[in-house]
Amino acid sequence: MTELETLIGELVAEQGPMPLDRYMALCLGHPRFGYYMSRDPFGERGDFTTAPEISQMFGELVGVWAMAVWREMGSPSPFALVELGPGRGTLMSDLLRAAKAMPEFLNAAQINLVETSPVLRGMQEELIGSERAVWHEALTTLPESPSIIIANEFFDALPVKQFEHRGGKWFERCVGFEEEKLTIGHAPAAMPERFDAFAYDGAIVEDSPARDSVAEEIASMARAYKTAALIIDYGHETRAPGDTLQAMRAHKFVPVLHEPGNCDLTAHVDFESLASALRRGGVSVSPVTTQRSFLINMGLEERAERLSATASEEQKADIAAAVKRLAGPGDMGNLFKAICAVSPGLTMPFPFAAS
């Protein structure tokens, strides 16, 4: 049993069944035993790999996007270049290297990173420079200034709740503790009627107050100052029932109750709900596009060709493999989606269409 498992068992015994979002928040963020608090989860020796870790091209193309958006915003100086959940800091460091092509953008950019993990903060400091950026625990302390916000694989790590339709009623799915083991069941009392569209027996529907609240914080910044946010993550374009909570260990799926605190826990991002939360906050939101379409429009193939021109045969093969992994329809290309949210009155930036 992990220490966190024992702790969760005690909490359930004291307080009753634990909603899944609380379970997920403890597994990922418990100050001592949380998954992100104590380790570097990325890469071959870790549990999963993200787009910026696959290839430098990802961060560079996000950089090209950010520079164009900054121009479109009227080149505000200074402005906050914000990343939510920067991981090892790879995306930001590739973005900043690409931005050397536009020194006025670099001079105006004040780098602000929202990160709760001390281990990952340390890695970000090493890669980006501790004097070059300001770190935040949450969005609430970000500077009051025009902002460009980037969030890659951040929202999938924010906790979700699940509700199950049984015998004509909705019940919240919860973690219980029986015979010295964690179990998944549901709360004894039914919820008020909701999710009418999916009310059939056995349906499971996810909802994320934590994601909605980050969306509201982005919207509140965007109402006050010129702001553009780019959100990339895996998930679905339209709201649908289904249990997407998943745990990963060493690049393999494991049960969500397996070794709490030692496995990555994520859930697919419901882009329809995320976009609605942003729109409720008064910002303009683009239609959902795929990572494939975003990267190809930003020049992935041209960038790969340029890099290949001076590369060894082995490097060329790596570059081609990275293009396929990032944008291939059977790889990340279609599963990963992108949306953009901008302040009311700002033009929706390329390659996002106005909705």
* Residue with smaller CB distance to ligand SAH, 17 or 333: 333
Handedness of CA 194, 153, 148, 140 (dihedral sign): positive
Distance (Å, rounded) from C-alpha 49 to C-alpha 17? Answer: 33
Tokens of 276: 């609605």
Could you say whether residue 115 binds ligand SAH (CB under 6 A)? yes
Q: Does 291 bind ligand SAH (CB under 6 A)?
A: no
Rule CB under 6 A: choose which of 27, 47, 50, 319 binds ligand SAH.
50
Query: Does 266 contact ligand SAH by CB under 6 A?
Result: no
Q: How distant, in Å, are the alpha carbons of 51, 295, 299 from that of 291?
A: 10, 6, 12
| Residue 134: other Cβ atoms inside 10 A | 15
167-226 binders of ligand SAH (CB under 6 A):
none
- CB of 91 closer than 8 Å to CB of 62: yes
Between 277 and 348, whose beta carbon lies closer to ligand SAH? Answer: 277
Q: How far is the CB of 75 from ligand SAH (least distance, A)?
A: 26
For ligand SAH, the binding residue among 21, 53, 94, 206 (CB under 6 A) is 53
| Residue whose CB is less far from ligand SAH, 13 or 253 | 253
Q: Which stretch, 92-100, 151-159, 279-287, 305-313, contacts ligand SAH (CB under 6 A)? A: 151-159
Nearest approach in angstroms of CB 49 to ligand SAH is 8
Please say which residue, 35 or 271, places its beta carbon nearer to ligand SAH: 35
Among 55, 117, 227, 284, binds ligand SAH (CB under 6 A): 117
State the residue number with the nearest CB to ligand SAH. 85
Per the structure block, which two tokens stand in for 136?
Answer: 């935040």
Which ranges of the chain would DSSP assign to H, the alpha helix?
3-15, 20-29, 51-54, 56-72, 90-98, 103-108, 118-128, 209-224, 271-280, 291-297, 300-309, 313-327, 332-335
Which residues are CB-neighbours of 39 under 8 A, at least 6 positions away?
46, 119
CB 30 within 8 A of CB 314: no
Residue-wise DSSP of 299-349 = THHHHHHHHHHT--HHHHHHHHHHHHHHH-TTTHHHHEEEEEEE-TTSPPP
List for the chain the helix, strand, coil content (%; round to 5).
Answer: 40, 25, 35
Choosing from 112, 152, 227, 289, the residue that interacts with ligand SAH (CB under 6 A) is: 152
Query: Is the CB of residue 231 less than 8 Å from the CB of residue 151?
Result: yes
CB under 6 A: which stretch of 114-122, 215-223, 252-260, 273-281 binds ligand SAH? 114-122
**Given the complex with ligand SAH, which of 9 and 41 has the nearer CB atom?**
41
CB nearer ligand SAH, residue 156 or residue 164:
156
Query: In the complex with ligand SAH, which residue's Cβ is closer, 123 or 219?
Result: 123
Cβ nearer to ligand SAH, comparing 56 with 152: 152
Choose, by CB under 6 A, the member of 153, 172, 206, 233 that binds ligand SAH. Answer: 153
Q: Nearest to residue 86, comparing CAs of 174, 150, 132?
A: 150
**Torsion sign (Cα): 193, 199, 203, 209:** negative
Size of the site for ligand SAH (CB under 6 A): 18
Find the part of the chain contacting ligand SAH (CB under 6 A) among 146-154, 220-228, 242-250, 339-347.
146-154
Q: Which of 23, 33, 36, 294 binds ligand SAH (CB under 6 A)?
A: 36
Encoded one letter per residue, x for contact with ligand SAH by CB under 6 A and - for no contact, window 68-107 reads -----------------xxx---x----------------
H helices of 205-312, in order, are 209-224, 271-280, 291-297, 300-309
Chain residues in the site for ligand SAH (CB under 6 A): 28, 36, 50, 52-53, 85-87, 91, 114-117, 120, 152-154, 157
